[in-house]
């Protein structure tokens, strides 16, 4: 049965053991995952997603309906691969990333830890996005982006730096 957390709760292993974290904010998900060090993290794939047999999915990662993940992609821990997103061959997706609905990630793209790819955004093959960077809705990442920036547009340009 789902366990609903409020501000007064202190989670313990008596309340919940096999878990995934359904929190879209990457930093919040990381914070809670660290607090729940006793948890057994599930990896959940919707039956109507296609994930090639060679793909590695980390613990706590959730793959939504309509997703396609192509051969030899690696997806880290506690990622959200949201509805209808595609991740092409050989991508490396770090821990705590969120690929919002309808993203298209080209082959051999690298997303470091904590990257948000906004709804409907794309990344052309072989680009890299630095840790904890957020890419805006409908953006097109056409060249490498540094860590901890907000980037928008097509091609994606840095709008501002993000605080740690
Ligand atoms: C990029 C984003 C995070 C910026 O949010 P923000 O920091 O609140 O920025 P603002 O709304 O103040 O916008 C700042 C400027 O960027 C522009 N902008 C914002 N989002 C943009 C986008 N996706 N593409 C192009 N321009 C964008 C705004 O028009 C504004 O321009 P202006 O200064 O000329 O008026 C947000 O707009 C966005 O795209 N979020 C995607 C969220 C998402 O997909 N979440 C996953 C849900 S499952």
- Ligand 1 mean position, distance from CA 128 (Å): 21
CA-138 nearest atom, ligand 1: 23
pLDDT per position as a tens digit, 113-131? 999 999 999 999 999 999 9
Burial class (CB in 10 A: 0-12, 13-18, 19+), 151: buried
* pLDDT at res. 164: 83
Question: Token digits for 76?
Answer: 């880290």
To the query of whether residue 78 is one of the catalytic residues in this protein, the response is: no
Helices (H) and strands (E) in the chain, counts: 1, 21
Q: How far apart are the first and last CA of the chain?
A: 35
- Atom 43 in ligand 1: which residue has the minimum CA distance? 118
How far, in Å, from the CA of 136 to the mean position of ligand 1?
6
Provide the pLDDT for residue 121. Answer: 99
Please determine, for residue 139, whether its predicted confidence score (pLDDT) is greater than 80: yes
The residue assigned the tokens 């997703």 is: 67
Please report which confidence band the pLDDT of residue 38 belongs to, taking 50, 70 and 90 as the band edges.
confident
133, pLDDT greater than 90? yes
State yes or no: cis peptide before 155, omega within 30 of 0.
Answer: yes
Q: Evaluate if residue 2 carries a pLDDT over 90.
A: no
Residue 18: predicted pLDDT: 83
Minimum-distance ligand 1 atom for the alpha carbon of 134: 3
Residues of the chain with pLDDT > 90: what percent?
A: 85
CB contact at 8 A, 33 and 16: no
Report the pLDDT averaged over residues 30-56. Answer: 95
User: Residues 40, 52, 78, 89: which is the catalytic one?
Assistant: 89
Nearest CA to ligand 1 atom 29: 152
Average pLDDT, the chain: 93
The residues, any chain, with a CB within 8 Å of residue 128's CB and separated by 6 or more, are 109, 110, 111, 112, 144, 145
Ligand 1 environment, Cβ below 6 A: 24, 82, 100-101, 118-119, 134, 136-139, 150, 152-153, 159
Closest residue by Cα to atom 30, ligand 1, is 159
pLDDT digits (tens, 9 = 90+) for 17-32: 788 998 999 999 999 9
**pLDDT, tens digit, for every residue of 68-94?**
999 999 999 999 999 999 999 999 999
Distance CA 5, CA 112 (A): 29
Determine the Cα–Cα distance for residues 99 and 78; give it in Å rounded to an integer.
12
Residue 1 has pLDDT above 50, yes or no: no
The size of the chain, in residues, is: 164
Place of tokens 């999915």: 57
Query: Nearest C-alpha to atom 28 of ligand 1 is from which residue?
Result: 152
């Amino acid at each position: 049965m789902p366990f609903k957390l409020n501000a007064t709760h202190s989670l313990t292993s008596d309340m919940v053991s096999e878990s995934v974290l359904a929190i879209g904010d990457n930093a919040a998900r990381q914070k809670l995952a660290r607090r729940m060090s006793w948890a057994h993290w599930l990896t959940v794939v919707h039956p109507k997603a296609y994930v090639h047999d060679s793909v590695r999915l980390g613990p706590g990662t959730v793959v939504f309906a309509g997703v396609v993940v192509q051969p030899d992609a690696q997806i880290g821990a506690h990622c959200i691969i949201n509805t209808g997103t595609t991740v092409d061959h050989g991508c490396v997706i770090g821990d705590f990333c969120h690929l919002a609905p309808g993203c298209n990630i080209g082959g051999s793209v690298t997303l470091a830890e904590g990257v948000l790819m906004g709804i409907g955004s794309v990344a052309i093959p072989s680009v890299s996005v630095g840790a904890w960077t957020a890419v805006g809705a409908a953006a097109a990442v056409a060249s490498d982006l540094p860590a901890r920036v907000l980037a928008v547009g097509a091609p994606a340009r840095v709008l501002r730096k993000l605080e740690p």
